[in-house]
Structure 1
Amino acid sequence: MSLSKQLYIIIAFIFFMIFTGNFIISVKNTKEYLEIESITKAQDTATSLGMGLKSLLKDKQDPEIESIITAISNRGFYKEIRLVDASFTISETQLIRNSVDLDDSLWKISDLTIDNSFGKIEKITSDSELSKELSELENEEIDESQIDIEEDTYSYIPSAEYTNGGKITFNFTAINENGMKVNTSSKLTIQKVIAKATRAVKFYYVPNWFIDMIPIKLEEKSSEISDGWKTTAIIYVSANPGDAYAKLYQQAKSGIIYSILAFLFSMLILFIFVQYLLKPLKRIEKLANSIAVGKFGIIEKLPWTTEIKNVAIAMNDMSSKIEAIINKLNNNLKNSSEKLSVDELCGLSLKQSFETDMKNMFIHKKTGYVFVIKIFDLATYAKSHTNKEVNAFIKEFGSILKNTSIKDKKTIAYRFFGSEFAVIGEGFSYEDSIKFAKSLQESLGKLALEFGKKEIAHIGATPFNPIGTTPEMLQAANEAYQKATLIGANEAYIRDSNDLSRDMESWRDLIFDIIDNSKFNVKYIGDATLLNHSNELVMQEAFTSACDKDGMDIPIGTFVSIAEKYEKIIDLDKKIVSNVINHILENKINHNISINLSLESINNTAFIAWIARTIQNNNKIAKQLVFSITAYAVAKDMDKFKFFADEIHKYGAKIIIKRFESKFIPLDNIKDFNLDYIRLARDYTCNICNDNSKQNFVEAIQELSTLLNIKVFAENVKDEEDLDIIKSFSLYAASR
């Protein structure tokens, strides 16, 4: 996970924790405040309403009581307002009015009774009666005229069944002012609640989940209404929670909206800051990736943050030091390579360079002639002359080969060993070869006179065969040389194109038949093992072989060359890749297998697309597929090879350059290819135990490859002493 994402997550988490804590505390405090405010308001309303209704409770049936309660309830702040009688009281007037046996005369009742199932009834002593009784106790005379005549009132004490009232029958005796007595009864509906106003609790836009999550409990408040020293009624007020919920929900909603906006704004500021902060880190990352692939730059604009600035300075220092080390290694490799490829005595290229240049001609489909020149009877001359004289003769002989040429044609001279030399004449025709041979004979004739050696050398030449091999052409040139020795002293024999061993048309038909009908075999050779105590097999090479109509093996160079000439090489490479994949799957191979590809294949976009699909379809074994390109093929088009390597790496496969020679690929270019493996040409490791130049070269290439994360293979190591030397340089693996 990137640093920016980690910062975003941790800041978001901290913000969430702070917001959640503040939100919970805010909602809790607001809830408590609204509860207290609602309860207090309900209590105040109960108190004030009780005081206002006190004067009206003399007649509890007064309709104005209910009007006042309803008016206050209509304000919407209350769920319920309820006026409850402190006790069930019945007046004499109520009993008389509800009797069907009494007229409108002035009646007085006595002997009031009820059935025991309803409870019991008691007369309430009035204030005037109480005053009269007190006066009698004090023996005071009472002025009857000053005593107001009050009607009697009774207290109904209900049984358990009629606690909340009901229809009660009262029996009594009524006497009017004329002395008429009537035994009668009244049926009264007794209610404890004198008046009540209720409003439905509505939450409007407040969702149910909010109500369920945050319960608001509002206690019912009450106030007693007294008449003197007696409590006549109790007023109950319940606050409406809908208003509290609405305010709380609005507050919570506003808090969340504000927090979201604040969070988004904060994250925007954080994003800008992080991008600015991490910009130097991206430059450092880019530099690190460049160093990993061998490109060494520096960060010119140093960051202002102290810690990151110190890292950038350290990266610059590391990049400069590694670049210096690699440059030093490159110089060492260049010097070692020159020593390995140039004859120290006469300054001519060695045989391995000849083979390399021949490969280059095959790749670029060049024409020309190959000359073999041998000093005649050098051993006898050496016996009769000192080493200094012999060396001077050989040096002068090499100089003549190096400097002899014809106009507008390129010649390269080589010393194979001892008295054997060779020359490649690029672009030479048969006529050019004759001119070159005559010019060479003239120069050698002068050399013969100078050193007193009558018969100095013979020359044999053969045309470059694009479908042949280097050994075949050397053999043909040597046959021409032998013919030259038969002609006479210092003679030359030049073969023409009619001497080519096979007809191109017959080759074409043969190669088409082999590829179209898959008449080739894929063998697995070159078992490369780790150069440690495990000797674990890490790679094999898929080698293709085919036979001609006579059952003779076709040289692979000839086979590939003709396939390329007639544009059949891509078909061949596809079939070989499929064969290797099937081999790995069917035999459950665990080690890597290298597959040789031609330059035409890696330059073909359709082939690259095909191989990408093939790897994707077999992605489980992708890491075991190592696509192998020869160093001289890479040298022909390095940009195309780099593109191919990048595409292959996208799908998990690997790349190896085999037969690596510094002459083909400049050492500075290795870092550009993002290689997995390098397999050295066998000439670099053959007899390495006795050649310090080879040892220096292999050691330097290993050090350079280590810095670039490339594994180095040694090829075809036969001698145990050579293997011990290679192990001491810590190469990755070697094939025997």
Structure 2
Amino acid sequence: MSLFRQLWLAVIAITTLAFAGSFVVSMVTARDYLEQQLAIKNNDNAATLALSMSQMEKDPVTVELQVAAVFDSGQYALVRVRDPEGKTMIEKTSPPSAGEVPTWFVSLFPIHSPPGQAQVSSGWSQFGTIELVSHSRFAYRELWQGAFRLLLWFGFGGVAAGLLGTQILSRIKRPLDAVVGQAQAIGERRFIRIAEPATPELKSLARAMNSMVMRVKAMFEEEAARLEQVRREATQDPLTGLANRGYFMNQLAAALSDDDAPPQGSLIMLRLADLAGLNRRAGRQTADEVLRQIGSTLSKLCEGHPRAAAARLNGSDFALLLPGESDPTGASNSLLELLRKLVACGQIDGQQVGHLGNGVYHHGENLPGLLSRIDAAIAAAEGEGGIACRSAQGEAVQCAHNSADWRKLLESAIESHRLRLVDFPVNQSTGDLLHLECPLRLQTTENGEWLAAGSFMPVASRLAMTCELDLVAVSLALDRLADGTTAVAVNLSGESVLDANFRLRLEKLIAGRRELAPRLWLEVAENGAFQHFDAFVAFTRELHPLGCRLGIEHFGRQFSQVGRLHDIGLDYLKVDGSFIRGIDTHTGNQSFLKGVCNIAHNIGLTVIAEGVSTAEELAALPALGFDGATGPAIPRHSQS
């Protein structure tokens, strides 16, 4: 039973008890008082009538007329005249009546009207005795009205007390609700703080809960920091802070094969000509400083490119990956300028300083073939001597559309419904289907080729058209669900999530088909989620009540920010494929990913591996704590 119901029942019980006691005491007291007043009145009126009759003639007619005049006033139930021997001379009576007072009330509180008596004299002798009894209906009416007023007062007082108690209880219940919400959030692996109420007893409770939350959060952050260090050790070069060879090669493979990767990009490789000689001539400290400056320059070149990656492949080889960039000249010139600066300031000496090779790659290109082309370009640069850069053979495929043409193409595809979803299975660790991952495809013309999302979404982002495409994708996903598909996951761009109007339209779209929402999975790439984090939090809090499953894909590169995810209502994480490739043999990544799964599970998140390409990788995932996987190694399921 709720506190409010208990309060109202208590108020009703107390009011009823108080009214019953007050009612009985008040009625008995009032009745006794009225009986006393009736007795006094009867005696006074009898005396007055007797005095009046004593001064008049005593013939029967006159006496009867005077008695009748008094009785006919309507205030008396009995007027009687007896002679000295007690024989009734004149008697006037009326039947007893309580007026409009209920019979049960008359029975419960009967009023006795004592008769008033007085002697009538004739000269010095007694003529007779007057008996006079007033009607009690007036007394009953007063007693009944008093009872009714008492009932109204107690009723009003009870309602007022109940309303006041409700308001007080509401003020007390608000902090209680906050504590309950905090406890529920902890049960959902979300750690939130609440404001401390003014009530001392509740304040101590809220303070204790907040203290517990802060301790758990501190433990969580400590574990996240430890895992971030593990990630760095497993994926980064300790001197320059760049990615190491294994991790970079996974990123490069993803750029060539992932469905949502841009259709082309640039790869630049730098090779220091004589690092061992530099160590001997200038010392280890100077050589390390040169390597750090190269690493810093490569890191700056990655800024502004969310998918860019820079790496130290070995002692003297560096690489820069720029997905979506079709001209590597600018970045190559920046690296050449750095080498010249190092020579000019004396940090590097000798004729053979460093050489660069660059080239444009295309989505789907063979990784060994790409590396061979860039190696050949570096070899050509080495042949020139000094500081040189050569481009690999093969021309970049130029886009056939300028911005205006792309806008027309995208608008036409939306209007003509030349958009569709393709599906890739995401399996649980047991092998059962978890959901279908459904990226968007766009048909350039009627009966034309279908473009992958990586080919048109970057352009749509520049043209601010991602919102319309994402809404179409969600609508198509809802149609798939209505046709009986088990569950569908749709990727939304960070730019769309940033748009409040898009979030409102998306919420209305899903609310209109709310029965399908529990089978709809919506995910945002890690970069978009953290880049627009406040908007992403608003997105999760607006859509989570509808029952959608919400997540982050390509997770892991910004793992240091995992602490921000503990209380925003996420359901799952998809770990980036660059961490998954070769996981069966990479012990460093295994330690990192096992910790990621533990932390994610501790805050109630499902963890899914992306880009699983071999059976060996798939077999290694359950032991690390993964709940599901997707990628080329996942067999397809038949759909109804």
TM-score, scaled relative to structure 1: 0.62
Deviation readout 1:646-667 (Å, 9 max, x if unpaired): 2223544342111111427622
2:442 equivalent among 537, 546, 552:
546
1:594 match: secondary structure = strand
Deviation readout 1:219-259 (Å, 9 max, x if unpaired): 79889999xxxxx9997847332332223312440463266
Q: Distance in 2 between matches of 1:551 and 1:621?
A: 32
Q: Distance in 2 between matches of 1:732 and 1:526?
A: 14
1:539 match: secondary structure = strand
Describe the shift of the 1:44–1:582 C-alpha distance in structure 2 as closer, same or farther (beyond 3 A): farther
Please tell me the residue identity of whatever aligns with 1:19. Answer: A
Please tell me the residue identity of whatever aligns with 1:65. Answer: E
What's the counterpart of residue 181 of structure 1? none
Shift of 1:326: 0.8
Describe the shift of the 1:223–1:372 C-alpha distance in structure 2 as closer, same or farther (beyond 3 A): closer
Unaligned runs of 5+ in 2: 120-127, 303-308, 635-640
Quick check: 1:653 aligned with 2:552?
Answer: no
Deviation readout 1:385-411 (Å, 9 max, x if unpaired): 9xxx9xx99x98997596288799637
The answer to whether the Cα contact below 8 Å between 2:272 and 2:354 also exists between their aligned partners in 1 is yes
Quick check: 1:711 aligned with 2:568?
Answer: no
What's the counterpart of residue 522 of structure 1? 421
What's the counterpart of residue 140 of structure 2? 244
Larger Rg: 1
The answer to whether the Cα contact below 8 Å between 1:402 and 1:413 also exists between their aligned partners in 2 is no
Describe the shift of the 1:240–1:472 C-alpha distance in structure 2 as closer, same or farther (beyond 3 A): farther
Describe the shift of the 1:431–1:609 C-alpha distance in structure 2 as closer, same or farther (beyond 3 A): closer
Shift of 1:482: 3.9
Shift of 1:322: 0.5
Unaligned runs of 5+ in 1: 87-126, 128-154, 156-191, 227-231, 377-384
What's the counterpart of residue 169 of structure 1? none
Describe the shift of the 1:31–1:583 C-alpha distance in structure 2 as closer, same or farther (beyond 3 A): farther
Describe the shift of the 1:64–1:303 C-alpha distance in structure 2 as closer, same or farther (beyond 3 A): closer
Quick check: 1:81 aligned with 2:100?
Answer: no
What's the counterpart of residue 332 of structure 2? 433
Describe the shift of the 1:193–1:328 C-alpha distance in structure 2 as closer, same or farther (beyond 3 A): farther
Describe the shift of the 1:198–1:688 C-alpha distance in structure 2 as closer, same or farther (beyond 3 A): same
Quick check: 1:311 aligned with 2:205?
Answer: yes
Aligned length, in residue pairs: 588
Quick check: 1:615 aligned with 2:510?
Answer: yes
The answer to whether the Cα contact below 8 Å between 1:682 and 1:715 also exists between their aligned partners in 2 is yes
- 5 Å-filtered alignment, 1:693-704, equals 693-704=588-599
Describe the shift of the 1:489–1:441 C-alpha distance in structure 2 as closer, same or farther (beyond 3 A): farther
The answer to whether the Cα contact below 8 Å between 1:458 and 1:481 also exists between their aligned partners in 2 is no
Shift of 1:349: 0.7
What's the counterpart of residue 18 of structure 2? 19
2:598 match: secondary structure = helix
What's the counterpart of residue 642 of structure 1? 537
- 5 Å-filtered alignment, 1:68-217, equals 68=67, 70-71=69-70, 74=73, 77-78=75-76, 80-81=77-78, 83=80, 194-196=90-92, 211=102, 214-215=105-106
What's the counterpart of residue 561 of structure 1? 458
Deviation readout 1:195-233 (Å, 9 max, x if unpaired): 536699796xxxx6x64663455679889999xxxxx99
The answer to whether the Cα contact below 8 Å between 1:459 and 1:484 also exists between their aligned partners in 2 is yes
The answer to whether the Cα contact below 8 Å between 1:375 and 1:457 also exists between their aligned partners in 2 is yes
RMSD over aligned Cα atoms: 5.8
What's the counterpart of residue 679 of structure 1? 574
Q: Distance in 1 between matches of 2:517 and 2:9?
A: 39
The answer to whether the Cα contact below 8 Å between 1:635 and 1:664 also exists between their aligned partners in 2 is no
Q: Distance in 2 between matches of 1:214 and 1:536?
A: 77
Shift of 1:422: 1.8
2:471 match: secondary structure = helix
Deviation readout 1:314-333 (Å, 9 max, x if unpaired): 42442242023112211122
- 5 Å-filtered alignment, 1:316-715, equals 316-343=210-237, 348-350=242-244, 352=247, 370-372=267-269, 403=294, 410=301, 413-415=310-312, 421-424=318-321, 430=329, 433-434=332-333, 436-437=335-336, 459-462=356-359, 479=373, 481-482=375-376, 485=379, 489=383, 492-494=389-391, 499-505=396-402, 510-529=409-428, 531=429, 537-548=433-444, 551-587=448-484, 589=485, 591-663=486-558, 666-671=561-566, 673-715=568-610
Shift of 1:566: 3.1
Report sequence identity in percent: 16
Shift of 1:34: 7.1
Please tell me the residue identity of whatever aligns with 1:561. Answer: P
Please tell me the residue identity of whatever aligns with 1:544. Answer: L
Q: Distance in 2 between matches of 1:509 and 1:690?
A: 48
Deviation readout 1:298-324 (Å, 9 max, x if unpaired): 98899644xx56634642442242023
Shift of 1:672: 5.5
Shift of 1:611: 1.2
Describe the shift of the 1:262–1:730 C-alpha distance in structure 2 as closer, same or farther (beyond 3 A): same
The answer to whether the Cα contact below 8 Å between 2:270 and 2:317 also exists between their aligned partners in 1 is yes
Shift of 1:686: 4.2
Please tell me the residue identity of whatever aligns with 1:410. Answer: L
Please tell me the residue identity of whatever aligns with 2:399. Answer: R
